[in-house]
Amino acid sequence: MRKLRAGVLAGTLAGGMLAAMTFTGMASTSQAAPSGGALGAAPYLYFGWGSPPSPTTVMSASGVRAFTLAFILSNGTCNPQWDGSRSLTGSDQTKINAIRNAGGDVVPSFGGWSGNKLGESCSSVSALAGAYQKVINAYKLKAIDIDIENTEFSTNAVQDRVLGALKTIKQNNSGLKVFVTMPVEQSGLESQGQRLVKQAVKLGVPVDVWSVMPFDFSSGGDMVAMTKSAVTGLKNKVKSVFGLSDDAAWRRSGLSSMNGHTDNAGEVVSVSNFKSIVSWANSVHLARVSFWALNRDCNNCAGIGQGLYDFTKANAGFTG
């Protein structure tokens, strides 16, 4: 398995998809998921990390209308909290209310690389579904993101528990969209990712969008080409497992890139790279494009020369 978000510099984060903030020195086989719309163009924003930007200011400056909020974790029991420590009804809810009052919306993300995962802390499918439902109810959500990494991803029993819980909440929440985000190799899904997609069919879990993180591949290279290769590999697996056409499979696939320097030394996604990735994603009609993370989308925060919110502005151009 490739290296996953261990952090570029010292001082790793409580959530997942880790990176240093600054860089110095049974789903139907005949239907595709609908276009992601505004919720499909939602960069990751982490309120528990450093000095996160005001989301309403970002909305005004970039045109983006939604954010994928990191991360819902366990507080050590089967109880969901932001970073496993902040209540659902505290400051995060105030910020979510402000985003919605400005005409935007949010997609809470469960999991990530680090911290206590609900998939492991909750001992049964029903308990885990209850934890997910608590968050859905708190914010009257239209979509959630399951960022399945680390031991949640590599442990078959936990994979199955997560899938079973997702099946339950899809049955109990009409219209709720479920994004599942996972690691990927340059050629497509690794063995655990392939298992996850196949198990979704076996267990009858209607995941709307399968999304991958196409970075941390190497010490450098053409990140546009490698992203296309990885996501095409995902699409091909979704196509074959679900019995879909190419077009339908693209519309159930997505990606979450990483802006600037990734966790691997020498690997860089430039602003130009990300614009090309978004343009390609629009041309094949992906359901979702995101990146990690808005916290790093400022002057030299990701170790590259760029303007304020350049990646977010590009992400806002994703239409699916």
| Interval 233-284: pLDDT, tens | 999 999 999 999 999 999 999 999 999 999 999 999 999 999 999 999 999 9
Give the whole-number percent of the chain exceeding pLDDT 90.
87
| Identified catalytic residue from 149, 185, 190, 267 | 149
| Interval 15-56: pLDDT, tens | 334 433 333 333 333 333 334 567 999 999 999 998 999 999
- Indicate whether 163 pLDDT > 60: yes
Q: 224 — alpha (psi -120 to 50), left (phi > 0) or beta? A: alpha
How many CB atoms are located within 10 Å of the residue 72 CB? 29
| pTM of this structure | 0.91
Query: Do the domain assignments include residue 219?
Result: yes
Query: Do the domain assignments include residue 16?
Result: no
- Indicate whether 76 pLDDT > 90: yes
Query: Do the domain assignments include residue 20?
Result: no
- Indicate whether 1 pLDDT > 90: no
Q: What is the pLDDT of residue 165?
A: 99
CA proximity to 209, closest of 161, 259, 151, 166: 166
Query: Do the domain assignments include residue 18?
Result: no
Q: Residue 85's domain is classified under what CATH number? A: 3.20.20.80
Query: Do the domain assignments include residue 31?
Result: no
Minimum mean pLDDT range among 13-27, 57-71, 140-154, 177-191:
13-27
All residues at 6 or more sequence positions from 174 whose CB lies less than 8 Å from its CB, including other chains: none
Structure tokens at 220: 């450098």
Q: What is the pLDDT of residue 36?
A: 53
Query: Do the domain assignments include residue 212?
Result: yes
Task: State the residue range of the domain holding 182.
Answer: 37-316
Mean pLDDT of 80-109: 97
DSSP strand E in 96-208: where?
105-112, 143-148, 177-183
Give the whole-number percent of the chain exceeding pLDDT 70.
88
Q: What is the pLDDT of residue 38?
A: 73
Query: Do the domain assignments include residue 17?
Result: no
Question: Is residue 267 among the annotated active site residues?
Answer: no
d(CA 198, CA 246): 18
d(CA 15, CA 147): 10
- Indicate whether 117 pLDDT > 50: yes
Q: pLDDT confidence of 63, banded at 50, 70, 90?
A: very high
Q: What is the pLDDT of residue 83?
A: 97
Do 196 and 236 touch, CB atoms closer than 8 A? no
- Per-residue b/e over 212-226, b at no fewer than 16 CB within 10 Å? bbbbbbeeeeebbeb
Residue showing tokens 């993180």: 213
The residue type of 163 is L
- Indicate whether 303 pLDDT > 70: yes
Query: Do the domain assignments include residue 12?
Result: no
| Neighbouring C-alpha atoms within 13 Å toward the C-beta of 173 | 25
Count of domains in the chain?
A: 1
> Rounded to whole angstroms, what are the CA distances from 174 to 126, 146, 170, 246?
18, 18, 7, 27
Q: pLDDT confidence of 216, banded at 50, 70, 90?
A: very high
